[in-house]
Structure 1
Amino acid sequence: MSRLIVISNRVSPPKTEDGSGAQGGLAVALAAALREYRGLWFGWSGRKTDKFTGHIDMQRAHGVTTATIDLEEQDVEEYYNGYANRTLWPLFHYRIDLAEYDRSFGSGYERVNERFAETVTPLIEPDDLIWVHDYHLIPLGQQLRERGLKNRMGFFLHIPWPPSRLMVSLPYHEKLVRTMLAYDVIGFQTEEWLESFCHYVERELGGTVDPDGVIHVGDRSVHAAAYPIGVDFKEFTEALESDAARESFERLRTSAAGRRTIIGVDRLDYSKGLEERFLGYRRFLEKHPRYQRKLFLLQIAPPSRGEVATYEVIREHLDELSGRINGEFADVDWVPVRYVNQGYRREELAGFYRAAEIALITPLRDGMNLVAKEYVAAQDPEDPGVLILSRFAGAALQLKDALLVNPYSKDEIADAIMRAIRMPKEERIRRWKAMVEVVRQEDVVAWRHAFVEALEKARPPVRREPTPEPEAC
């Protein structure tokens, strides 16, 4: 059996045998795959070094081998804070107005991808399957090919792919996309992002796309498909039985004091539509004053990417907006918005989800949005809550029984909250049953199996000829 080599920007080694201590469901799924395939997880350690040496820190924990490298300060600023998060992230989330096109960012991005390739190549054996993750490492496959690797390689994009009219605003966009053709399998979260990519290939590269998803450009043929990612349903529902989940459930229910809880859980990011969500909630309070003391919004938004100025701005805006809403509507024994800038463990979040009667998940653009799926998985089958979901989240294509809204419309958000409050129990149960079946069947394990199976079926790897030993003098 071939080994699986997972390569991502950051590495999240498992902290328990079942992986449940890892950060997020994706890390759990990848750890399980690595144990199954005797694999290796390679990426950045998250640490900085004065000078890049290529030193690899090898660790093995709970059946998973990890290999990490440290990056220089300039690498982090140009590759991670720069090109990845100030150029590609906003562009791929349709925020061309926020995208920064700085030549040094592109140079740093190429340099770090080269360093990844140079460092990981000696660790790869001829029969290994290579699975590269996300927008940080788009050119890595091409870099590995240039170093002689003939292995089967797959790439999965965890965020949206923008329409061609936006993609062409990126300097050297054609060069970047052509590097993706070095992979044998390319995966996207949804059919929409897949269609956008295929449209770009046909329009800008003169390629063709077969009905079975094989893309042809020049002498390259690549299989591209949608592989919707899910949550680890089994692990997440088991987390509901933990002491931490029970405690967080009771904590939130007790503090609610009989009021309905509307919950939102998002990383602090402009793509999550948090300002628009607060304004929609404010519109609800304006239109329905008799409900003002009967509910509250709990928004959990842990900070991220604090070194990027755009994220400091959104935090300031949300601080101000939540303060204005509370100042306008609060009473001595009630505040309409509980805005929390810290993260919680998965077990605690599971308890919060179960305690909340409504989830308000309204990103402006999202590759998938696993919080929506976690909320569904956490519900009490006898008395489930209502999911209000942005129609621009990838999850909306699967969770069709959520209340789908346009996150830019304050009135749609306000009306959806009112509809959720008034929804009969029978309708809540019917909608939840339809959604939880999707979440259960199309979970992260199914996603991982589908992608790796496609990679295994790709063209057989060509073995590299061993480098002959130099003759002795």
Structure 2
Amino acid sequence: MSRLVIVSNRVAAITEGKPLAGGLAVGVYDALKEKGGIWFGWSGDIVDALPAAPDSRQEGKVTFCTVGLTRRDYDQYYRGFSNATLWPTFHYRDDLSRFERKEYAGYRRVNAWLAETLKPLLQPDDLIWVHDYHLLPFGEACRAAGLRNRIGFFLHIPFPSAQVLMTVPPHQELVKAMCAYDLVGFQTEPDRTAFTDYLVRNAGGQIDADGLVHAHGQTLRTGVYPIGIYPDEILAQAEMQANRRHILNLKQGLQNRKLIMSVDRLDYSKGMLERFRAFERLLEMAPNHQGHVSFIQVAPPSRSDVQNYQTIRRQLETEAGHINGRFSDLAWTPLRYINKRYERHVLMSLFRASQVGFVTPLRDGMNLVAKEYVAAQPPEDPGVLVLSCFAGAAQELQGALIVNPYDIDGMAEALNQALAMPREARQERYQNMMRSLRENNLSQWRDRFLHDLRADAARTPYLLSAATTLP
């Protein structure tokens, strides 16, 4: 039986017996534990010189292989092209994107080095599963290094339309590199369509009746694999935490007020500024909620060394101060904006204690917070999910109130509807969404992708030539 080799930008810090955070960590670690394999990627450490070989440690059947990055590689590959060019562009914020040739060269260089570093660890029949935008050209780098293993790639974030993608100057090279994979997976059908449309319209590609894609002399498959969660585990976790001190203290502080809850990594793609303004509009248009509803936004900082993230943090602090200064009284603070990281079980219990989940990214590949909010709800008295139409999860969670995050009045109206929704209507919406979450859980996502990657594919061999040499 072939081993599974996971390649991701960061390798999750996993200790047997301790809870995992994040869908990627939970989903792929389960598969690795069952069959055995390797998880390879960056350790998160900045080092003086690139290591000759990765550090390795064993947990059961899983080998964790990690490497450090030099400061130059971190600045160019990670902080530069990955997060200052690809991340904003793929989230349709090309106005925030910047491109520097040296950063792109660093991005390609690190991908090539990672492929060469992984090569000695592999066996001929290993199945390689590569994750996310940091590693778009990794498959091509593996082929250039002589690897003939089956290699699949899954993009966790959106794939932009051609006109947006073309704002990244080396867009043709990037998409050509992605064609070196045997299987390219996306969160939603619109993401896959954007990719295949680009190939057909801009690269002379063809799509067969059976879905095979031919482009740049390669044949590959594409697929849609919406990442899921384990809803019943989250429900049990939220129930277990329901009477812990932090929840009892929260309920005592709310004094029977209704609670709107949001949790996001601090990022301009999450739509938090628009969300704050929608909450302010709610208090204006429905003054009966003043003093009777509180909004908690948890937003742990991330990428604090990137200028755009410093800017959004200042904007949110200013907006939160404005709202609280305008509406607070001695007994009520309408908005609690918290830049702090909480353990996952604490967040699930906070979701359970709230009446509205407010999840309104401007663009998101999937957004597992939306799914976790639904799963954490008490079945007998569930809350209501207000969800952006630009989150991948909106295609599955039809029981949510779907909003346009650019429509401040529309979001305020949805909040008002959610706060007033009768229990029977809430229960029906909740049950419909839980059925979907159970049918498309995390195991389904993982197993469907790996099944398709293992399946025979009529693809042409990847021929090494001068054209495949990496810059």
Partner of 1:467: none
Question: Structure 1 pair 410/25, CA: closer, same or farther in 2 (3 Å)?
Answer: same
CA distance in 1, matches of 2:434, 2:335: 28
Q: Residue 253 of structure 1: CA displacement? A: 2.0
Task: Say if 2:189 is the partner of 1:191.
Answer: yes
Once residues 119 and 195 of structure 1 are traced to their aligned partners in structure 2, the CA distance between those partners, rounded to angstroms, is 33
- The answer to whether 1:51 aligns with 2:53 is no
Structure-2 change in CA distance of 1:2 and 1:463 (3 Å): farther
**Aligned ranges 1:123-134 → 2 under 5 Å:** 123-134=121-132
Return the offset for 1:400. 1.1
Q: Once the 2 structures are TM-superposed, how far is the Cα of residue 49 of structure 1 from its aligned partner? A: 0.6
Cα deviation, residue 232, structure 1: 2.5
Change beyond 3 A, Cα 1:105–1:244: farther
- The C-alpha deviation readout for 1:10-67, integer Å capped at 9, x for no partner, is 00142234xx522223201111111122110000000011111233110112442100
Of residues 167-176 and 324-333 in structure 1, the stretch that sits farther from structure 2 once superposed is 167-176
1:380 to 1:242, Cα distance in 2 relative to 1, 3 A: closer
Counterpart-to-counterpart distance in 2, 1:381 and 1:304: 33
Measure, in 2, the Cα distance between the counterparts of 1:176 and 1:368.
22
Q: 1:234 to 1:291 in 2, by over 3 A?
A: closer
- Cα distance in 2 for partners of 1:211, 1:21 equals 44
Q: Tell whether the 8 Å contact from 2:35 to 2:61 is kept in structure 1 after alignment.
A: no
Paired with 1:13 and 1:28, the residues of 2 have a C-alpha distance of 11
- 2:34 maps to 1:16: no
Give the AA of the match of 2:7: I
Secondary structure, counterpart of 2:156 in structure 1: coil
Q: Which residue of 2 aligns with 1:169?
A: 167
Letter in 1 for 2:276: F
In structure 1, the partner of 2:294 is 296
Q: Report deviation, 1:114.
A: 1.2
Q: Which residue of 1 aligns with 2:109?
A: 111
Residues 234 and 127 (structure 1), Cα distance of their counterparts in 2 relative to 1, 3 Å cut: farther
Q: For the structure 1 residues 141 and 375, does the alpha-carbon distance in structure 2 shift closer, same or farther, using more than 3 Å as the test?
A: same
Q: Distance in 2 between matches of 1:13 and 1:61?
A: 11
Following the alignment from structure 2 to structure 1, what is the Cα–Cα distance between the partners of residues 142 and 244?
Answer: 48
Determine whether 1:201 maps to 2:163.
Answer: no
Match for 2:448 among 447, 450, 457? 450
**Cα shift at 1:244:** 8.0
The letter of the residue matching 2:124 is: P
Q: How does 1:160-309 map to 2 (within 5 A)?
A: 160-243=158-241, 246-309=244-307
Q: Is the 8 A contact 1:142 1:180 kept in 2?
A: yes
CA distance, structure 2, for counterparts of residue 80 and residue 437 of structure 1: 38
Query: Which amino acid is 2:140 matched to?
Result: Q
Q: CA deviation at 1:289?
A: 1.3
Question: For residues 243 and 166 of structure 2, what CA distance do their matches in structure 1 show?
Answer: 46
In structure 1, what is the Cα distance between the partners aligned to 2:52 and 2:242?
41
| Distance in 1 (alpha carbons) for counterparts of 2:243 and 2:221 | 42
Letter of the 1:11 counterpart: V
Deviation (angstroms), 1:462: 12
Cα distance between partner residues in 2 of 1:450 and 1:305? 32
Does structure 2 retain, via aligned residues, the 8 Å contact 1:43–1:68?
yes
The verdict on how the C-alpha distance between 1:92 and 1:365 changes in structure 2, with shifts beyond 3 A counting, is same
> Counterparts of 1:41-80 in structure 2 under 5 Å?
41-80=39-78
CA distance in 1, matches of 2:225, 2:323: 40
> For the Cα contact (< 8 Å) 1:83–1:106, is it kept in 2?
yes
- Equivalent position amino acid for 1:359 in 2: G
Paired residues for 1:346-425 under 5 Å: 346-425=344-423
TM-score of the aligned structures, taking structure 1 as reference length: 0.95
TM-score normalised to the size of structure 2? 0.95
Cα distance, 1:227 vs. partner?
0.3
CA displacement, residues 327-347 of structure 1 (integer Å, 9 cap, x when unaligned): 000001101100000111111
Paired with 2:335 and 2:124, the residues of 1 have a C-alpha distance of 56
Asked whether the 8 Å contact 1:227–1:450 carries over to 2, the reply is yes
Are the aligned partners of 1:261 and 1:296 in contact in 2 as well (CA < 8 Å)? yes
Query: Per-residue CA shift, 1:132-161, capped at 9, x if unaligned?
Result: 000000100011111111111000000000
CA distance in 1, matches of 2:437, 2:397: 8
Task: State the partner residue of 1:2.
Answer: 2
Cα–Cα, structure 1 residues 294 and 310, in superposed 2: closer, same or farther, change >3 Å? same
Indicate which of 147, 150, 161 corresponds to 1:149.
147
In 2, the alpha carbon distance for the partners of 1:263 and 1:252 equals 12
Offset, 1:203: 0.6
2:326 counterpart residue number: 328
Question: In structure 2, what is the Cα distance between the partners aligned to 1:461 and 1:205?
Answer: 18
1:84-95 → structure 2 map (5 Å cutoff): 84-95=82-93
Cα distance, 1:288 vs. partner? 1.2
Report what 2:467 is aligned to: none
* 3-state DSSP of counterpart to 1:240: helix
CA distance change for structure 1 residues 452 and 248 in 2, over 3 Å: closer, same or farther?
farther
- d(CA) in 1 for partners of 2:461, 2:406: 52
Whole-angstrom distance in 2 between the partners of 1:243 and 1:393: 28
Partner Cα distance (1:444, 1:37) in 2? 17
CA contact (8 A) 1:153 1:184 kept: yes
**Alignment equivalent of 1:159, drawn from 137, 157, 160:** 157
Contact 2:199 2:205 in 1 (8 A): yes
- Counterpart among 428, 434, 444 of residue 432 in structure 2: 434
The aligned length equals 462
Segments of 5+ residues of structure 1 without an aligned counterpart are 465-473
Instruction: Using the TM superposition, give the Cα deviation of residue 218 of structure 1 relative to its aligned residue in structure 2, in angstroms.
Output: 4.5
Q: Distance in 2 between matches of 1:457 and 1:275?
A: 45
Is the Cα–Cα contact under 8 Å of residues 382 and 426 in structure 2 kept in the other structure? Answer: yes
Which is worse superposed, 170-179 or 3-12? 170-179
- Structure 2 counterpart SS, 1:299: strand
Give the Cα–Cα distance (whole angstroms) in 2 for the partners of residues 455 and 245 of structure 1: 44
Cα separation, 1, equivalents of 2:211 and 2:250: 47
**Partner of 1:343 in structure 2?**
341
